[in-house]
Protein backbone atom coordinates (compact mmCIF):
# COMPACT_ATOMS: atom_id res chain seq x y z
CA UNK A 1 0.00 0.00 0.00
CA UNK A 2 2.77 2.46 0.90
CA UNK A 3 4.60 1.66 -2.37
CA UNK A 4 1.44 2.57 -4.29
CA UNK A 5 1.11 5.89 -2.48
CA UNK A 6 4.76 6.77 -3.06
CA UNK A 7 4.42 5.85 -6.75
CA UNK A 8 1.29 8.00 -7.12
CA UNK A 9 2.99 10.96 -5.47
CA UNK A 10 6.00 10.56 -7.77
CA UNK A 11 3.79 10.39 -10.89
CA UNK A 12 1.79 13.44 -9.75
CA UNK A 13 5.00 15.43 -9.31
CA UNK A 14 6.18 14.53 -12.81
CA UNK A 15 2.81 15.36 -14.39
CA UNK A 16 2.69 18.71 -12.56
CA UNK A 17 6.21 19.51 -13.81
CA UNK A 18 5.37 18.91 -17.49
CA UNK A 19 3.41 21.94 -18.57
CA UNK A 20 1.98 22.96 -21.90
CA UNK A 21 3.19 26.29 -23.26
CA UNK A 22 1.79 28.37 -26.10
CA UNK A 23 3.54 30.57 -28.66
CA UNK A 24 1.10 33.16 -30.05
CA UNK A 25 1.66 35.66 -32.87
CA UNK A 26 -1.68 37.25 -33.84
CA UNK A 27 -3.01 40.47 -35.27
CA UNK A 28 -6.08 40.06 -33.01
CA UNK A 29 -6.17 37.24 -30.45
CA UNK A 30 -9.92 37.76 -29.90
CA UNK A 31 -10.61 37.09 -33.59
CA UNK A 32 -7.76 34.97 -35.00
CA UNK A 33 -9.42 34.35 -38.39
CA UNK A 34 -10.20 31.14 -40.27
CA UNK A 35 -8.35 28.01 -39.13
CA UNK A 36 -6.43 26.91 -42.23
CA UNK A 37 -3.79 24.56 -40.77
CA UNK A 38 -3.95 22.39 -37.65
CA UNK A 39 -1.36 19.63 -37.34
CA UNK A 40 1.00 18.03 -34.89
CA UNK A 41 4.61 18.03 -36.00
CA UNK A 42 6.90 15.35 -34.56
CA UNK A 43 10.52 14.42 -34.93
CA UNK A 44 12.30 11.18 -34.14
CA UNK A 45 15.62 12.95 -33.69
CA UNK A 46 16.61 15.27 -30.88
CA UNK A 47 17.57 18.33 -32.89
CA UNK A 48 16.04 21.46 -34.39
CA UNK A 49 14.06 21.30 -37.61
CA UNK A 50 12.86 24.02 -39.95
CA UNK A 51 9.28 23.54 -41.11
CA UNK A 52 7.70 25.48 -44.00
CA UNK A 53 3.89 25.73 -43.95
CA UNK A 54 2.47 25.12 -46.48
CA UNK A 55 5.33 22.87 -47.56
CA UNK A 56 4.95 23.55 -51.30
CA UNK A 57 5.25 27.19 -52.48
CA UNK A 58 2.63 26.44 -55.17
CA UNK A 59 0.12 25.77 -52.39
CA UNK A 60 0.69 28.86 -50.24
CA UNK A 61 -2.39 30.17 -48.46
CA UNK A 62 -4.69 32.22 -50.66
CA UNK A 63 -4.97 34.99 -48.06
CA UNK A 64 -2.54 36.35 -45.51
CA UNK A 65 -1.83 34.60 -42.22
CA UNK A 66 -3.58 36.43 -39.38
CA UNK A 67 -2.55 34.27 -36.42
CA UNK A 68 -0.05 31.54 -35.51
CA UNK A 69 -0.52 29.45 -32.37
CA UNK A 70 1.97 26.75 -31.42
CA UNK A 71 1.36 24.50 -28.41
CA UNK A 72 4.34 22.66 -26.99
CA UNK A 73 5.41 20.75 -23.92
CA UNK A 74 7.63 22.00 -21.14
CA UNK A 75 10.62 23.30 -23.02
CA UNK A 76 12.70 26.44 -22.66
CA UNK A 77 13.21 26.55 -26.42
CA UNK A 78 10.41 28.67 -27.84
CA UNK A 79 9.55 28.18 -31.55
CA UNK A 80 11.01 30.87 -33.82
CA UNK A 81 9.41 32.39 -36.92
CA UNK A 82 12.30 32.29 -39.40
CA UNK A 83 10.53 33.63 -42.48
CA UNK A 84 7.04 34.76 -43.54
CA UNK A 85 4.45 34.64 -40.77
CA UNK A 86 1.63 37.04 -39.95
CA UNK A 87 0.83 39.13 -43.03
CA UNK A 88 2.39 36.57 -45.42
CA UNK A 89 0.91 33.60 -47.28
CA UNK A 90 3.38 31.15 -45.71
CA UNK A 91 5.56 30.70 -42.64
CA UNK A 92 8.88 29.00 -41.90
CA UNK A 93 9.20 27.94 -38.26
CA UNK A 94 12.22 26.61 -36.37
CA UNK A 95 11.14 23.88 -33.93
CA UNK A 96 13.57 22.54 -31.35
CA UNK A 97 13.29 18.86 -30.41
CA UNK A 98 16.58 18.75 -28.47
CA UNK A 99 14.84 18.42 -25.09
CA UNK A 100 14.05 14.88 -23.96
CA UNK A 101 10.55 16.08 -22.99
CA UNK A 102 9.78 17.65 -26.37
CA UNK A 103 8.26 15.19 -28.84
CA UNK A 104 5.57 17.16 -30.69
CA UNK A 105 4.44 20.66 -31.51
CA UNK A 106 0.82 21.40 -32.39
CA UNK A 107 0.75 24.18 -34.97
CA UNK A 108 -2.41 26.13 -35.78
CA UNK A 109 -2.39 28.75 -38.51
CA UNK A 110 -5.29 31.10 -39.14
CA UNK A 111 -5.78 33.17 -42.29
CA UNK A 112 -7.85 36.27 -43.01
CA UNK A 113 -10.15 34.32 -45.35
CA UNK A 114 -11.16 30.62 -45.29
CA UNK A 115 -9.15 28.35 -47.59
CA UNK A 116 -11.37 26.59 -50.13
Supply the Cα-derived Rg of the chain in whole angstroms.
17
Estimate to the nearest angstrom the gap between the alpha carbon of 82 and the chain centroid: 14
Q: Rounded to an integer, what distance in angstroms lies between the CA atom of residue 95 and that of residue 2?
A: 42
Local confidence pLDDT in tens for the 116 residues of the chain = 444 433 444 444 344 445 678 999 999 999 999 999 999 998 877 788 899 999 998 899 999 999 999 998 766 678 999 999 999 999 999 998 877 666 789 999 999 999 87
C-beta separation of 53 from 93 below 8 A: yes
Domain ranges of the chain: 20-111
Closest CA to 110 of 92, 88, 95, 78: 88
Sheet holding 34-42, edge to edge: 21-26, 65-72, 104-111, 34-42
For residue 100, the model assigns a pLDDT of 67
Amino acid sequence: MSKTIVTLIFVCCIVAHVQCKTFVDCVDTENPGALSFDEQISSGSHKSIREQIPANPRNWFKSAISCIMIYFENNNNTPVIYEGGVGSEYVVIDLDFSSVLQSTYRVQIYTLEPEV
